[in-house]
């Protein structure tokens, strides 16, 4: 009997890579418009290498980019970039198709809903609040709650504790096989691979189920629970 569905956040509920791409492109375009002398291609390459080095959640990416490009922070250029980045991010921060309706249906089936994300607490909650998801989930566990990342069992145990369900009464939905799926199945949770959010061209995910659309989770729960 499945009592809870736990979702990864980035590339499972929200198309994080698309959001990032659109926000960065808008930011760079605005910085070039404000006087920065660089092509968008060259600038994109620099941004990619900063993210590679500092991590995709790095908050000072434009500062580092300007230091690297013109040897200083020009605040006119930086501000133009940040404002454009934020506007584009907000516009692009929308859930995948059928996320709202699927969460709604799961709720009506009496299923508890959780989020388990490796993102820092502030970033994860901001993304949830942008999408108006902050009231929908019964439990949210981020990196800051345990100090561990998936596939470490700690974050999985933390979210199950908050939801008060056993591993075998839950199903984990995620796009990252080595983290979401492996970590969940290691502690006895059922698993569904979010194929629609896969950015790695994953060949082998070893999940119990594969989702081409998030709405398929409804049929899986109905089947698991004999409804």
Q: What are the residues binding Mg ion (CB under 5 A)?
A: 8, 10-11, 175-176
Q: 3-state DSSP call for residue 148? A: coil
Rounded to whole angstroms, what are the CA distances from 3 to 89, 96, 164, 221? 34, 23, 10, 9
**SS3 sequence, 154-182?**
HHHHHHHHHHCCCHHHEEEEECCHHHHHH
Give the nearest residue (CB) to Mg ion. 11
Of 8 and 169, which has the nearer Cβ to Mg ion?
A: 8
Q: Which is nearer to Mg ion, 170 or 202 (CB)?
A: 202
CB of 154 to Mg ion, least distance (A): 18
Q: Within 10 Å of residue 178's Cβ, how many Cβ atoms?
A: 13
Which CB atom, from 66 or from 115, has the smaller least distance to Mg ion? Answer: 115
Q: What angle do CA 224, 200, 119 make, to 5 degrees?
A: 75
- What number of CA atoms fall less than 13 Å from residue 93's CA on the CB side? 20
CB nearer to Mg ion: pick between 8 and 145: 8
Write down the least CB distance from residue 174 to Mg ion, Å.
6
Q: How far is the CB of 211 from Mg ion (least distance, A)?
A: 13
Closest to Mg ion by CB, 10 vs 145, is 10
Closest distance between Mg ion and the C-beta of residue 36, in Å?
32
Smallest separation (angstroms) from Mg ion to the CB of 208: 18
């Amino acid at each position: 009997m499945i009592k809870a569905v736990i979702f990864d956040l980035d590339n499972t509920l929200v198309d994080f890579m698309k959001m990032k791409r659109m926000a960065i492109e808008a930011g760079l375009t605005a910085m070039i418009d404000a006087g920065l002398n660089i092509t968008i291609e060259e600038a994109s390459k620099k941004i990619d290498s900063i993210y590679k080095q500092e991590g995709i959640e790095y908050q000072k990416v434009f500062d580092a980019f300007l230091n690297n490009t013109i040897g200083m922070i020009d605040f006119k250029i930086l501000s133009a970039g940040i404002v454009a980045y934020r506007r584009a991010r907000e516009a692009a921060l929308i859930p995948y198709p059928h996320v709202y309706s699927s969460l709604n249906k799961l709720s009506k089936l009496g299923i508890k809903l959780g989020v388990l994300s490796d993102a820092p607490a502030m970033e994860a909650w901001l993304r949830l609040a942008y999408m108006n998801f902050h009231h929908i989930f019964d439990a949210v566990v981020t990196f800051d709650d345990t100090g561990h990342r998936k596939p470490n069992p700690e974050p999985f145990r933390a979210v199950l504790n908050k939801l008060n369900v056993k591993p075998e009464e839950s199903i984990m939905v995620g796009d990252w096989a080595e983290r979401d799926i492996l970590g969940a199945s290691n502690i006895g949770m059922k698993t569904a691979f979010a194929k629609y959010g896969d950015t790695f061209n994953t060949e082998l995910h070893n999940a119990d189920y594969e989702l081409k659309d998030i709405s398929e989770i409804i049929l899986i729960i109905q089947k698991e629970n004999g409804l």
